[in-house]
Amino acid sequence: MIRKTRPPLFPGLRVSLGITLTVLGFLVLIPLAALVLKSISGGWLHAWQTIIDPRLLASYRLSFGVAALAALFDGVIGGLAAWVITRYEFPGRRFLDALVDLPIALPTAVAGIALTALYAPNGWLGGPLLRWGIHAAYSPLGIFLALSFIGFPFVVRTLQPALQGLPKEYEEAAACLGAGRWSTIVRVVVPAVLPAWLTGIVLALGRGVGEYGSVVFIAGNLPFKTEIVPLLIVSKLEQYDDAGAAAVGTIMLFFSVIILAVFHRVSAWNRRRLGA
């Protein structure tokens, strides 16, 4: 009996794989390797002194701390928005659904200017907030608002498919067994969409950590108070300290790899749950 050989899934797999790896190397691997090598071009001591500079340590705490808070906030508000868009029919629903993507499509500098004009002391919202003693612009709160703005779509768009794929029969079965609305959400809906929800939060965190354009205008850039890490990278480049800028960039690359690893672990968890 002659066994028929199945054709390869993708014709020319070796050639296409080779092209893919080559392009990936030139676009990703080689630039990242050049960044690491550039960080030590001025000597290990210079790189170490740059990394542990007190001004830079303060920017680390601000960038990662505020980005984490903004991602958690987006997790709550984005989850609510995804639920409303997915589960309810109301006038303007499609417009609201399209509006979610605006922070992604809008240039970050434009977003920063708009937020600054809105929350500045003479802005529409900044003035009333200032009368209550709340400084929105030129403070960590302004950075929080900017990072929440740009991270919001990642939570909504990641959570929406999970909510759409959740059969409503589960909720109906819980209601038939006597569960209240909140009990159904906590015990049925949230566990089912939790991996996708966490994925969106991690994506919002990764987006916020490296954000520059929408933050630099509203932050005020006060040393030790409202300076973010990307701003100090640009500052070192303006001072012709390329090795120092690369050293700071290497630290950001390290944390980005950690965030990416967390993202892939959550995604793998989600795939295992769906397979089960």
For residue 54, the enclosing domain spans: 43-275
The residue among 94, 102, 96, 103 whose CA lies nearest residue 80 is 96
Distance of alpha carbon 223 from alpha carbon 6, whole angstroms: 64
Regarding whether 36 and 149 lie in a shared domain, the answer is no
Count of domains in the chain?
2
Under 8 Å between Cβ of 205 and 262: no
pLDDT tens digits along 193-210: 888 898 899 899 989 988
In a domain, 6, yes or no: no
- With tokens 């690893």, the residue in question is 261
Regarding whether 17 and 146 lie in a shared domain, the answer is no
In which band, very low, low, confident or very high, does the pLDDT at 157 lie, cut at 50, 70 and 90?
very high
Regarding whether 127 and 137 lie in a shared domain, the answer is yes
In a domain, 3, yes or no: no
In a domain, 230, yes or no: yes
Task: Show the tokens assigned to 61.
Answer: 């705490």
Regarding whether 18 and 82 lie in a shared domain, the answer is no
pLDDT tens digits along 224-242: 889 999 989 988 988 888 9
In which band, very low, low, confident or very high, does the pLDDT at 105 lie, cut at 50, 70 and 90?
confident
187 pLDDT exceeds 90? no
Distances from the Cα of 45 to the Cα of 86, 97, 242, 244, angstroms:
54, 51, 15, 11
Regarding whether 160 and 72 lie in a shared domain, the answer is yes
Distance of alpha carbon 218 from alpha carbon 137, whole angstroms: 5
Most confident of 150-154, 187-191, 268-272: 150-154
In a domain, 5, yes or no: no
Regarding whether 98 and 29 lie in a shared domain, the answer is no
Task: Tell me the pTM.
Answer: 0.85
Using a 10 angstrom Cβ sphere, with 0-12 exposed, 13-18 middle and 19 or more buried, the burial of residue 113 is middle
Q: What are φ and ψ of residue 73, in 5° steps?
A: -65, -45
Regarding whether 187 and 253 lie in a shared domain, the answer is yes
pLDDT tens digits along 32-72: 999 999 998 888 898 899 898 999 999 999 999 999 999 99
Give the CATH number, domain containing residue 228. Answer: 1.10.3720.10
190 pLDDT exceeds 90? no
In a domain, 23, yes or no: yes
Task: Kindly state the percentage of the chain with pLDDT values over 70.
Answer: 92
